[in-house]
Structure 1
Amino acid sequence: MKASIILAITALLPLTRLTAQDSTAIKAINPADFARHISVLASDAFEGRKPFTRGEDSSIQYLAAQFKQMGLKPGNGNSYFQEVPMVSISSKPSGNLVIKGPNGELSLQYLEDFVAATRRVQEQVTIPTSELVFAGYGIVAPEYNWNDYKGLDVKGKTVIVMINDPGFADSTLFKGRVMTYYGRWTYKFEEASRQGATGVIIIHETAAASYPWKVVRSGWSNSKLHLQTANNNMHRTALEGWITLDAAKKIFQLAGVSPGIMQQARTKGFKPVDLHLNTSLVINNTIKKSTSHNVLAVLPGAKRPQECVVYSAHWDHFGIGEPVKGDSIYNGAVDNATGTAGLLELATAFTRLPQAPARSILFLSVTGEEQGLLGSEYYAGHPVFPMEKTVADINLDVLNTFGRTRDITVIGYGQSELDEYALRAAQKQGRITVPEANPEGGWFFRSDHFNFAKKGVPGLYIGPGNDALGHEPGWGKEQTAAYNRLRYHSPADEFDANTWNMDGMVEDIRLLFDVGYQLSNESSFPAWKKGSEFKAYRK
């Protein structure tokens, strides 16, 4: 049975109560149109929407055509496209990671004990001899009076640091179990580069990282995409890597240091420790430069067109890859054809308003999210609206496919005043907002709004609710868990009109329409809350 027939009989959803004149706009967000966009974007014809493939061409041309048909203006001058120059680097160490010291040497095996790569665009990167220093969490956080690099000169050295932040072990530090950006592995690499280190190696712990070593191993054994830079990323450390916890313990033993040093590093005032060890490594790279594209469309504001509210969603997925049960197309229906379709639904809704909002609305579909949030990182560095004029980013990634819920999840709850906007919109629907169930996983830092946050722009990122209407408690949570377990990042992530219930995602997107509509007609800017690591960036 066709999706249009299935969805035409879907019960009318409650509408967000804005004003009577806005009901036409809200009704434009509907199950049938949602399903139509998803069925196209997640079809085999789009070949999994991988950057630099025919799937990219199909995806970006479809989006541009939809925006043009709606009457939205090109978002990048006269173009709906923004070029995003990228470089693919396939790194492989020439051998084991050998660590030497006065008491002997240790040889760590690639993939089993360590992974290593580089962002430097060179065919070969050589670290001849580099001293090893244990620098705790590798964090410099003035607002928490924490500096693991205090008094330490790491030039020419390789720092070994722990994953997550001190709050994971001590609820009285940082934000307790809620991971801050200081706990993310990307931050560890960035800070080591700022400090001038030659290399940085993160100690993996399953609980603190929120994923097992096999995730690190599989992700780091493949090529990685990075943004091209003028200096070929020579400002970054020559070596970025991870080691297992067992490997770290062996290193400490070789250094004559107690493994308890990691426990000591969780206390304020910890000082870095010179391990009196050194290592050397050669990394061989296969390099390919290419250009991908963001897609941008804008609805100009009626009163303050120089200010904008951004809606974002990533169009990319993994393309054609390793077959699973005979299927090699990674369609990415939930991740993220749903969010991309939601972006088109929101764009349609705003064009149905009787008059344009006061501020401009930018609809931004970005590339390279699956490769490290690259498209949004590029946009944040090359914005069409200055960041100081950008009110907020409302990000769509992996929407609800199992039906309506009494709640909606706000990921990164407590970061900004956008929490209150989401709550008010939810209350109009007779719903509540809840924080994510496991904030120690750092989910706020894993989608495209995060690159806006790093520029000081608050981001709202929602996830499916858990309290599903018409089902027993826990049923909704199990639906999300089943998707993560069975379909996430696999060829099984396909659109199925017979099993998907579109009502939940429609209601969630109507909620986000409400939030953006309110923001677009105000004169104030939502603020970061006290304790947010991004508050200083807005200033």
Structure 2
Amino acid sequence: MIKLYKPLFSISLLLATAAGYAQQVQLSPNVQQALNTVSPDEIKAHIAYLADDKLKGRGPGTEGYQMAVDYVVDQLKSLDVKPAGESNSWLQKVRLRKAFIGDAALSLSNGPANTTDIKKGKDYVIYPNPVLPKVSVNAPLAFVGYGISEPGLGYDDYAGMDVKGKIVIITRGAPEKFQSSVSAHVMNASQILKVAAEHGAVGVIMASTDSTARMANISRGVYSIMDDKGAVSVSRTYYSKQLSLYASINYALFNALLSQADKDLKTILPQLKAGTPASFALKASASASLSSTYEDIMSYNVIGKIEGSDPKLKNEYVIHSAHLDHLGIGPAIEGDSIYNGAHDNASGVASVLSIAKIYKNIQIKPKRSILVVLVTGEELGDLGSNYFAKHPTVPVKSLVADVNTDMPTIIAPLLSVTALGAEHSSLEKQVAQAADYFGLSVEPDPEPKQARFTRSDQYSFVLQGIPALHIKYGSKTADGKNNLNDFVATWRAKYYHKPQDDINGIFDFEAGKKYAQLNFLIGYLVAQAPARPTWNTGDIFATK
């Protein structure tokens, strides 16, 4: 458990052992030649097609997304990849439910004679319920800090609290002693809902600690995935019928509730950050009612297979994943309303197609099989990958690892990398080997507050107990200033999640080539290893 309390322990181990690991990498001349078949021009061509205006931003369930599906299926066929979707097809159906809030009201009271007058959209937001068209709940309130229950990490906001039948108020965050990826996990909305439900709560209200923040705009709908029986399979705003209310309140209202209980944020927040829970019953109750309407949309994951060469190990799979969707058509910025998603994530899809090309040119395939998984709904909350990880088209126990590629940000030479998630498992060994092979250094996450580990598809596999990682850029630059983060921040402000992210933006296709080669080699080493990857002893994800 010590490893989880010291944020850089695993990364430090990775850095210290990289040289030793690298000596073990010996590739045959054929594999070396296959690596060199990755073409920057082909990467550019893939991106140019997938980010073309005619695909209209690849929104799930749209004609443009279907064009992207057809394109990648054709490419995989040409690369000798075999279909591995449902019923021997290339596809897995993903039933998206877009839920809209109708009538909704929230009132807070401190006794029958004192009802607080608050306004929807300004003081609070109630999220639609994807399975219950009508919801009504009246329950006492309790504040449970960050909503974290991890006794193994020495922290439990629910310790000594009876919240059964109550609505819990939670502020998002994590103790400072937590490792960055652990913090990202425990403060993820789906995890917060799960923990609240397990403790018997009937509702969750997320409270803002930022006095300048605006309430979320959910007028365009909130997405979940439904299974073929009509039940919710994946959602970031819903966990169970028992936990029927999910809402948020602003800073002023949160502060008023705390004041009624003779508490204040100036005392509570430092205590929570220091790792000491500050949970208590509030002197108020909440009544909420809401109605929801639905629009169901069919989208698809694309799944292909490269069969391994070992008679036994070929029944195990290493996944190379990337999300195929983007934001579709949205509010116009500088006269453009098509959110092309060239970097996010046409570049990641192009990288995975390049990996498939490497495998086409390898005469003796690795011992384990490779799954190419291009998913929908990442921009809606990792929905497609989460659905595949829960309902894979191969036996779930046969999945040994996921190497995900999401917006590698190929805008400058790739000189160093961050391996998000590798510190939790034996995958750190393959990362160190592969990085050293290409002369790349491995660095700690330069942006831990971005919670990048839980914001892309590798996290879906981690939640199902499958070791996974996501390679991102490091800080190293050719001029020695090692401030790539500053350049990326400037780039992100102009291009990220904007129509300006098209093929005319900033690209370094040689960096794209190196990303593809690196991710290939990580997956290849896992596929060749005698033993499947394992979680580190005592790791938070080891029991998933």
Structure 1 length-normalised TM = 0.88
Q: Distance in 2 between matches of 1:348 and 1:142?
A: 46
Partner residue in 2 for 1:193:
197
Contact in 2 for aligned 1:93/1:116 (Cα 8 Å): no
CA separation in 2, counterparts of 1:465 and 1:137?
A: 30
Say which of 222, 225, 240 aligns to 2:223: 225
Matched AA of 2:387 = Y
Q: Hey, what's the Cα distance between the residues in 1 that align with 2:530 and 2:209?
A: 46
Alpha-carbon separation, structure 1, partners of 2:305 and 2:427: 22
Cα distance in 2, alignment partners of residues 18 and 389 from structure 1: 25
Runs of 4+ deviating beyond 6 Å: none
Deviation at 1:371, TM superposition (A): 0.5
The answer for the alignment partner of 1:110 in structure 2 is 120
3-state SS in 1 of match to 2:100? strand
3-state SS of the aligned residue for 1:108?
A: coil
Matched ranges for 1:127-526 at <5 A: 127=137, 129-166=138-175, 168=176, 171=177, 174-175=178-179, 179-205=183-209, 213-214=213-214, 217-218=216-217, 220-229=218-227, 230=229, 232-233=231-232, 234-235=240-241, 237-259=243-265, 260-265=267-272, 270=277, 272-303=279-310, 304-412=313-421, 414-469=423-478, 471=479, 473-474=481-482, 476-496=484-504, 499-526=506-533
* SS at structure 1 position matched to 2:117: strand
Q: Which runs of 5+ in 2 are unaligned?
A: 1-24, 233-239
Whether the 8 Å CA contact 1:38–1:495 is kept in 2: the answer is yes
Q: Which amino acid aligns with 2:216?
A: R
1:151 Cα deviation after fit = 4.4
Change (3 A) 1:176 1:42: closer
C-alpha distance in 2, partners of 1:436/1:42?
28
Distance 1:331 1:246, change over 3 A: same
Could you list the runs of 5+ residues in structure 1 that have no partner in the other structure? 1-15
Aligned partners of 2:473 and 2:213: how far apart in 1? 27
Aligned partner of 2:457: which letter?
D
Partners of 2:33 and 2:321 in 1: CA distance: 23
Structure 1 pair 70–206 and aligned structure 2 pair: CA distance change class (3 A): farther
| CA offsets 1:419-453 (integer angstroms, 9 cap, x no match) | 23112211111220112112233211111111110
Q: Does the aligned pair in 2 maintain the 1:91–1:118 contact within 8 Å? A: yes
User: How far is the alpha carbon of 1:273 from its aligned partner?
Assistant: 1.5
Work out the CA distance in 1 between the residues paired with 2:54 and 2:460.
31
Report the Cα distance in structure 2 between the residues aligned to 1:264 and 1:26, rounded to whole angstroms. Answer: 52
Q: Which amino acid aligns with 1:72?
A: V
Q: Residue 403 of structure 1: CA displacement?
A: 2.8
The answer as to whether partners of 1:84 and 1:292 remain within 8 angstroms in 2 is yes
Secondary structure of the structure 2 residue equivalent to 1:246: helix
Which of 516-525 and 380-389 deviates more?
380-389
Map of 1:3 onto structure 2: none
The verdict on how the C-alpha distance between 1:268 and 1:409 changes in structure 2, with shifts beyond 3 A counting, is closer
How far apart are residue 125 of structure 1 and its match?
2.0
Equivalent pair of 2:43/2:354 in contact (CA under 8 Å): yes
1:441 & 1:206 partners in 2: Cα distance?
Answer: 17
Change (3 A) 1:271 1:228: same
Cα distance, 1:47–1:180 mapped onto 2, change above 3 Å: closer
Q: 2-side partners of 1:180 and 1:20: how far apart?
A: 41
| Map of 2:4 onto structure 1 | none
TM-fit CA distance, 1:191 = 1.5
Q: Distance in 1 between matches of 2:286 and 2:343?
A: 44
Greater shift in the superposed pair: 188-197 or 377-386: 188-197
Distance in structure 2 (CA, Å) of the matches to 1:359 and 1:206: 49
- Alignment RMSD, CA only? 2.4
What letter matches 2:222 in structure 1? K
Measure how far apart 1:283 and its partner are.
1.9
2:96 partner SS: strand
Q: How many Å apart are 1:534 and its aligned residue?
A: 0.5
Gap change, CA 1:45 and 1:236, over 3 Å in 2: farther
Tell me the CA shift for residue 236 of structure 1. 5.7
Q: Give, in angstroms, the shift of residue 418 of structure 1.
A: 1.6
**Structure 1 residues 345 and 73: CA distance shift in structure 2, 3 A:** same
Q: Deviation string for 1:88-120 (max 9, x for gaps)?
A: 10125534x321004833233333332221333
CA separation in 2, counterparts of 1:478 and 1:269? Answer: 34
Paired with 2:339 and 2:242, the residues of 1 have a C-alpha distance of 32
> What's the TM-score once normalised by structure 2's chain length?
0.87
Structure 1 Cα separation of the partners of residues 524 and 507 of structure 2: 28
| Structure 1 contact 179–440 (Cα < 8 Å) conserved | no
Q: 8 Å contact 2:260–2:283 — kept in the other structure?
A: no
Deviation (angstroms), 1:122: 3.0
The alignment-based identity, stated in percent, is 29
Question: Matched residue of 2:424: which SS?
Answer: coil
Q: CA deviation at 1:126?
A: 2.0
